[in-house]
Every structure is written in C-alpha cells, then in structure tokens.
Amino acid sequence: MASLKKLSVFGLGKLGACMAATFAERGFDVLGVDINAEAVRKINAGEAPVDEPLLAEAVGKARKRLRATTNPAEAVATDISFFIVPSPSLPDGSFSNEFLMRALAPIAQAVRKAKKKNHIFVISSTTTPGACRKVIIPMLEKEIGGKCGKDFSFCYNPEFIAIGDVVRGLLSPDLVLIGESDQRAGDLLEELYRKYNLNQPRIARMSVTSAELTKISVNSYITAKISFTNQLRMIADRLEDTDIHQILDAIGSDSRIGKKYLRAGLSYGGPCFPRDNRLVVYTAKEVGLSAPLAEATDAVNEMAKDQLALQALACTKPGDTVAVLGMSYRPHTYITEESAGLHIAQSLKRHGCRVVVHDYASTTKNSPSLLEFEYLADPAKLKNEKRLKAVLICCPWDGYRKIKFPKGVKVFDPWGVLA
Ligand SMILES: NC(=O)c1ccc[n+]([C@@H]2O[C@H](COP(=O)([O-])OP(=O)(O)OC[C@H]3O[C@@H](n4cnc5c(N)ncnc54)[C@H](O)[C@@H]3O)[C@@H](O)[C@H]2O)c1
C-alpha cells in the first residue's frame, strides 16, 4: 500500500487555505482548487488568500510544494482530495450539501474519464449526520460508475479548530477524527496525519456516520458547558455576596469537570458552535426524538445576551449613548457572525439607544454588519461621547483592561476583563 504523497484541497477559504499550506509545509505535494480565481492567484503568488494568523508564513514556507488551480480535473493526478467548501445551515437546522455536491461532481467525472481506481475523497466540511452515506456517496458512485470502498474510497475527516488559531489547531490537535468507508483508506489517512501532526493526537477511527455525529457532538458538549457557566453567572449576579469567578474556579478544580470553557463570560457565537448545536436538535428530530439538552443550551445562550441588554437598558433612557466593546465572536478574529456583541448592539439600538461600537479586529470594512452603528476607532476616546450611560464588554479582548472609563458610567463586564 503506497503512502499518500500528492494531495488536493478543494476550497481555499479560512480552513482550506490553512490545510493546503500546512500540508505542503509538512512535506506533501499540494494542489489547491477553488472557484475563486483571486484565491488561486494569491496562493500561486505565495500570498495568503485569507486573513489568519501564521497563514502567510505557512504559504511562504510551502511555496515549492504548493500550487493552485481553478480546474478541478487536475486533481485526478493527486492521490487524495480534501473538500472544505461551505456547508451553510438551512432554516430547519440541517446543513446544505449543495457546495459539496458541486465541488465533488467534476472530479468524480474526471476520475471516471481517466478510469482511475482508488481515488480517496475526504469531506472535511461539517455535514448533517447521514448526509455522506445517503446523499454524497451515492452521487459519487453514480458519477464514477463504481462502488465506494472498492473502486474509490471515502472518508469523513472534519477538523477541530478555532478561527484565529487555525494553523496551530491543525498541526497540534487533541483529536484526529476519521470516518472511513474501508480500512485501506483509513490506514492511509492515519499514516498521513502521523506525518503531518507536530504532536501525537488521539486518532479515532469509525464509520462515516459515527464521525459525522461525533463532530457536532464535540461542539454541542462545549456549548453546553458554556451555557452552564452563563446560567450560573446570571444566578450569581442576582445573589448578594457572590463572585462568579471564584465559584467557577472552584468547580473547575474537580477533575471530572475541568477548567476548559468554564470561564464566566457571555454567549457563544461564530460560524460553528451555534449551528452545530442546532444540528444536534435537527438530527434528533430526524430519528423521531427530541434533544432537550441541546435545546436548553441554545435557550440559555439567547437568554444570556438578552439579560445583558436588559440590564443596560435599565440604566438608560431613549437617546442615551451605550458603548458595546468587542463585536467579534472571540478575540483574535474579525468575524461577527452570531456574536454576542452584535446581537446586544442591535437590541439596544432597536430600543432607542444611540449605540457606539468598537472592536480590535472587526471593522465596518471587513464586517458590514457594523455599518448600522457608529464605529469608535479608539476606545480611549469614549470619554468624549455625549450622554454615555453604559459600557458593555462583550468580547474579552485584552486591550479593554487598560481603558479608563468615564466616571458615572455603568460598566458591564461579564468576562471579568477588568477584574
Ligand atoms: N470556519 C470555521 O470556524 C469552521 C470550523 C470547523 C469546520 N468548518 C467547516 O468548514 C467548511 C468551510 O469553512 P470555511 O470557514 O473555510 O469557509 P470559507 O467560506 O472561508 O471557504 C470556502 C471556500 O470554498 C470555496 N468553494 C466554494 N465552492 C467551491 C467549489 N465548487 N470548488 C472549489 N472551491 C469552492 C470558496 O470559494 C471558498 O474559498 C464549512 O463547511 C464549515 O462547516 C468551519
């Protein structure tokens, strides 16, 4: 069984560009494929196609072994193809297969035309549990005219990374998850990761559908832990003589619980946590069950944001100014998708407040959702704001520690940034 040497990565976005560059940096020959000609041009020019820490350095180091194209058929010459294209959420909570199907079909047709055997198709995008087995593999079998596990192989291999930490997260993960159609494909992918990873992560191998369910369950568990801390914080806020940070520090010392994601803060957001947890609810419904734990996690998440907005409204009158600091969903990223800061700023504006916003990475340029607010370039200038009644720190950027807030202004700091 020959090792995998030539890799193709379909989708050169926030994750795919980092996968392609780090695979090449670690010694594999990599072909990046994207429908976005600008992303392809940038990779070929040795530039990072997206903003992500350490990506530009990885692309620079990988140059000799990294090339990109808009022509999917070129990937037939590679041993294995990774697909990391969007899989957007649908209104019912499931994830769309549309982008994956469009990305897979041309290479499947090219594999058929070349009469190639044993090509390995790897889905890294998050999918609805059951989608690979019921929708994607049957489409590949039809287009290739062969049987999965015999004429070609299929793996589901999602990555567990956080935006802002993708390169480090890819190279040194806790877990590599491989759902496999056949042992040969699983063995080859495992061998690839043993060469690629800088650490020695647990490599968990299972069926494709088990891996789909595992992927979203990791995020559902983490979000449950976050909602637990938010529920406790809201109770402690109303109970005299309590300090939520001391309480959680003590709880997390129990090794059965642990301290990770047990920090007092605000609602989770971003492109993965909220929708992955909602996908658990959808998946339960699909098999005739409900998922009350996942639903409660979501409900507490909404409640934590709404409670903070209500607390701010209680100390303002219409027309007063409120400053929302931290619009990104976590530090070190500009992404505002489903962020607590964005939700709260919108709610305060709807209730008649004048809302000024600040973030160290999100700007009106990279996050058009901020255009509806007045953008404060320098939070130190808060003291010049007229009728400023409340400041809400919604994302725990370190920079907020140093700010001197004007006297008489109520500061809400659920993350304890100023503590
Ligand atoms: N962003 C995250 O934090 C994160 C974390 C874990 C998993 N995921 C999963 O990873 C997937 C991709 O996320 P992302 O943030 O990198 O997305 P992205 O939008 O940044 O990038 C997707 C890329 O795919 C390209 N693309 C679309 N159709 C294509 C096609 N037919 N052929 C080739 N390229 C095509 C796009 O042009 C784009 O460059 C999603 O399914 C998501 O669920 C994302």
What digits encode the pLDDT tens for the residues 366-407? Answer: 999 999 999 999 999 999 999 999 999 999 999 999 999 999
What spacing in Å lies between the alpha carbon of 84 and ligand 1's midpoint? 5
- What's the CA gap between 303 and 414, in Å, rounded? 14
Mean pLDDT on 313-328: 96
pLDDT, tens only, 77-99: 999 999 999 999 999 999 999 99
Residue 419 or residue 209, greater confidence: 209
Kindly tell me if the per-residue pLDDT of 210 is higher than 80.
yes
Write the CB contacts of 53 (distance below 8 Å, at least 6 apart in sequence).
164, 165, 166, 167, 332
Q: Between the CA of residue 98 and those of 25, 278, 375, what are the distances in Å?
A: 31, 19, 36
* Ligand 1 pocket member 11 (CB < 6 A): yes
* Ligand 1 pocket member 84 (CB < 6 A): yes
Q: Where are the domains of the chain?
A: 6-206, 217-255+272-302, 305-412
* Six token digits for residue 166: 């993708």
* Ligand 1 pocket member 86 (CB < 6 A): yes
Question: Exposed e or buried b for every residue in 8-33, given b needs 16+ CB within 10 A?
Answer: bbbbbbbbbbbbbbbbbbbebbbbbb
Q: Read off the pLDDT band of 419 (50, 70, 90).
A: confident
What spacing in Å lies between the alpha carbon of 18 and ligand 1's midpoint? 11
* Ligand 1 pocket member 335 (CB < 6 A): no
pLDDT, tens only, 145-167: 999 999 999 999 999 999 899 99
Atom index in ligand 1 nearest the CA of residue 126 equals 43
CATH code of the region 305-412: 3.40.50.720
- What's the CA gap between 302 and 298, in Å, rounded? 6
* Ligand 1 pocket member 100 (CB < 6 A): no
Among protein residues, the one with the nearest Cα to ligand 1's atom 32 is 103
pTM: 0.94
Instruction: List phi, psi (to 5°) of 403.
Output: -80, 135
What spacing in Å lies between the alpha carbon of 126 and ligand 1's midpoint? 10
Task: Tell me whether domains 6-206 and 305-412 share a fold.
Answer: yes
**Domain spanning 6-206: CATH superfamily:** NAD(P)-binding Rossmann-like Domain (3.40.50.720)
Among protein residues, the one with the nearest Cα to ligand 1's atom 20 is 13
* CA dihedral sign, ordered 256, 235, 240, 323: positive
Kindly tell me if the per-residue pLDDT of 1 is higher than 90.
no
* Ligand 1 pocket member 102 (CB < 6 A): yes
